[in-house]
Amino acid sequence: MPPPSTLLDTALTGPTAADVRRRVLHQLLGSLLYENAVRAEDGQLRCDNGINGDNDDNSDNGVRYTFRARRRYTFGRVTVDDLRRDGLEPQSISLFLAEIAPLLDADPSRLPQFARELEETYVKDALAQQHRRNTEHTRLHRLDVETLEGAITDGHRYHPSYKSRLGFGIDDNLAYGPEFRPDVRPLWLSVDRSIVETSAVVDEASFLREQYPAQAESGRTLVPVHPWQWDRHLAAAFAGELTSGSIRVLGPDPDRFRPQQSIRTLACLDRPHRPYLKLAMSLVNTSTSRVLAPHTVHNAPAVSAWLAGIAADDPLLRDELRTVFLRELMGTAVVAGDDPVRRDATYGTLACIWRESLHPHLDPDESGVPFTGLTARNVDGTPLIDPWVREQGVAAWVRRIAEVVVVPVLHLLCHHGIALESHAQNMVLLHRSGMPTRVALRDFHDGVRFCRERLAAPDRCPTLRSTPPHHENRNSFVETDDPSLVTDFVLDALLFVGIGELALFLADAYGFDEAEFWSLVREVLTGYLDRFPDPRYDVLTPEVAVEKLTSRRLLPDTELRVHPVPNPLAAADPRPAS
């Protein structure tokens, strides 16, 4: 591979860079309009003070941004294209943000950090797209599920800083970014049990023997760590423990791993049946820290066992839908002690969750595709799903998606009272030659929410460790007394971020009407509700409160940042679509 500087120069001067910049700008403006953070008149934003002073047609040195915007049926989303600055295509993301800043009710101190996230996204996605143009030779639908995790390069289709990866330099991004399909060998540590918290639904000793050839000595356990995390953060942060012998470095894993879309989750390339490794990384991506908070690591196996137990006793999930729950088998976190300065600085930075591999769950004739892949395109622009929807028909294929993906997640909510954060990255569609068969759900450690009084079997709910005060996040909690926060949690993740993106994609790629899409989903849901007529939650509520993913980056973290949007399931005609 050429030097990082050469690759960067090629990427930023190549044909894909302009496309990436447009995408970041369009997602930024579209989300700001959608969240009512900025208001436009007749497709224009008038900024009184241009920064460059190069505006010949504005004697007051003002700047005018023009664009085309569409209000979509799907959650009333706003999509933007053809953004212009005084008639020319804007060349700077940071300049755009700076010039519209007076129109935003934003905290000025937050603008530089957000601008950095956007610029980092531009650079890292330009690298990824250029690399993809140079290396993609196989049609996406022919790739196995683990290869697809790296081949799908789109990231979040709503959040504008979808690939910021703050903490990664260019060389780090090339060495550990999933798009570049690197071989990664986790580093294993021997750690004194006095500074380790472990929870598991498996026998720890025998489980670890299957993961690494060395055995833990008495009073110690084994902990894997991402090599980047160790080199860049932990070797210094835990120097005291290295000096005392509380932590000893054993060496790299004998097997090769590949990063999945989330970067911090690794899949074993040499032995695919090995559990996935979810490793703490001191990164910020899509505006979220990628460490693993010890309280969520502790809760992970218990939450997984709870969900798996419910599914095992539920005939619809177990026999009919055969929904796969990829259990989190064990979690380990190293805690730095009572010093509040060190505790806060290292909280969640050295931790691991082992998650079941998908491969043992697959039927012999079954394949998997990350749900994000359903909106992916080949380099030539052809959708990954193209051969599937052309053979089966878009309507029939969408109906099957609703049956095998929407129904099980909403059944957990409506019948059992449990909401899952099943957005697109947390789901894998299983299929036979493109025909959807079922869904695999994953990432439960901090991705559930419930009201205890609405649980079908509250006695089965595990006792979960609460969030410590120094780590509280108003947008992240498991238990609540407000039922609407439970409904919104699953509808935001499953429908707004997951199914909704598919509706938009099918409309844009195939002209498949969004109202018809939601009519099909509503029809399937109506059939489900006929069988289970007393839901614990109303998923046909006219409005859903969805997170202001962009606005919250510009405002103080003093409240839950959500806004009400129309629920397309409620508006859809439940008649069969023609």
CATH number at residue 469: 1.10.510.40
- On whether the CB atoms of residues 491 and 544 are closer than 8 A, the answer is yes
493, amino acid identity = A
pLDDT band at residue 55 under the 50/70/90 scheme: very low
Rounded Cα distance between 99 and 233, Å, is 36
Residues β-bridged to residue 190: 222, 248
Q: 3-state SS string over 341-369?
A: HHHHHHCCCCEEEEECCCHHHCCCCCEEE
Across 150-229, where does the E strand assignment appear? 187-192, 196-200, 220-225
> For residue range 114-146, what is the model confidence (pLDDT) as tens digits?
999 999 999 999 999 999 999 988 999 999 999
The residues near 277 (Cβ < 8 Å, ≥ 6 apart) are 186, 224, 257, 265, 266, 268, 352, 353, 354
130 falls within a domain: yes
Asked whether residue 265 falls in the same domain as residue 283, the answer is: yes
Q: How far apart are the first and last CA of the chain?
A: 51
Asked whether residue 324 falls in the same domain as residue 367, the answer is: no
172 falls within a domain: no
Q: Which element (helix H / strand E) includes 127? A: helix 111-135
- 72-93 core/surface letters (b: 16 or more CB in 10 A; e: else): bbbbebbbbeebebbeeebebb
577 falls within a domain: no
Mean pLDDT of 220-243: 96
> For residue range 436-448, what is the model confidence (pLDDT) as tens digits?
999 999 999 999 9
Q: Domain containing 496: what range?
A: 363-566
- On whether the CB atoms of residues 180 and 174 are closer than 8 A, the answer is yes
- 40, 35, 261, 264: which is closest to 158 by C-alpha? 35
482, amino acid identity = D
Asked whether residue 150 falls in the same domain as residue 76, the answer is: yes
Which CATH number goes with the domain that contains 34? 3.30.310.280
Determine the pLDDT at residue 429.
Answer: 99
Asked whether residue 143 falls in the same domain as residue 235, the answer is: no
390 falls within a domain: yes
Question: Measuring CA to CA, how many Å separate 60 from each of 53, 55, 463, 537?
Answer: 10, 9, 63, 55
CB count in 10 Å sphere of residue 548: 21
Asked whether residue 207 falls in the same domain as residue 286, the answer is: yes
> For residue range 560-569, what is the model confidence (pLDDT) as tens digits?
899 999 999 9
Asked whether residue 204 falls in the same domain as residue 325, the answer is: yes
Q: How many residues does the chain have?
A: 578
571 falls within a domain: no
Percent of the chain with pLDDT over 70: 96
Mean pLDDT of 184-206: 97
> For residue range 497-543, what is the model confidence (pLDDT) as tens digits?
999 999 999 999 999 999 999 999 999 999 999 999 999 999 999 99
183 falls within a domain: yes
pLDDT band at residue 53 under the 50/70/90 scheme: very low
* More confident position, 260 or 342: 260
* Residue at a domain's end among 321, 355, 389: 355
Rounded Cα distance between 184 and 166, Å, is 20
Assessment of whether the complete model's pTM goes beyond 0.85: yes
Q: Which of 32-46, 187-201, 474-488 has the highest mean pLDDT?
A: 187-201
Determine the pLDDT at residue 477.
Answer: 87
Across 72-149, where does the E strand assignment appear? 78-85
> For residue range 447-493, what is the model confidence (pLDDT) as tens digits?
999 999 999 999 999 999 987 766 666 667 899 999 999 999 999 99
- On whether the CB atoms of residues 237 and 287 are closer than 8 A, the answer is no
Mean pLDDT of 263-286: 96
Rounded Cα distance between 451 and 300, Å, is 19
pLDDT band at residue 557 under the 50/70/90 scheme: confident
Asked whether residue 75 falls in the same domain as residue 141, the answer is: yes
Percent of the chain with pLDDT over 90: 87
Write down the mean pLDDT value for the chain: 94
- On whether the CB atoms of residues 128 and 177 are closer than 8 A, the answer is yes
Residues β-bridged to residue 352: 279, 332
* Residue at a domain's end among 135, 165, 195: 165
Mean pLDDT of 19-43: 96
Asked whether residue 70 falls in the same domain as residue 217, the answer is: no
Q: Biggest alpha carbon distance in the chain?
A: 78
Asked whether residue 337 falls in the same domain as residue 413, the answer is: no
Determine the pLDDT at residue 578.
Answer: 45
Asked whether residue 338 falls in the same domain as residue 429, the answer is: no
Asked whether residue 385 falls in the same domain as residue 526, the answer is: yes
- Number of domain units in the chain: 3
Residues β-bridged to residue 331: 199, 353
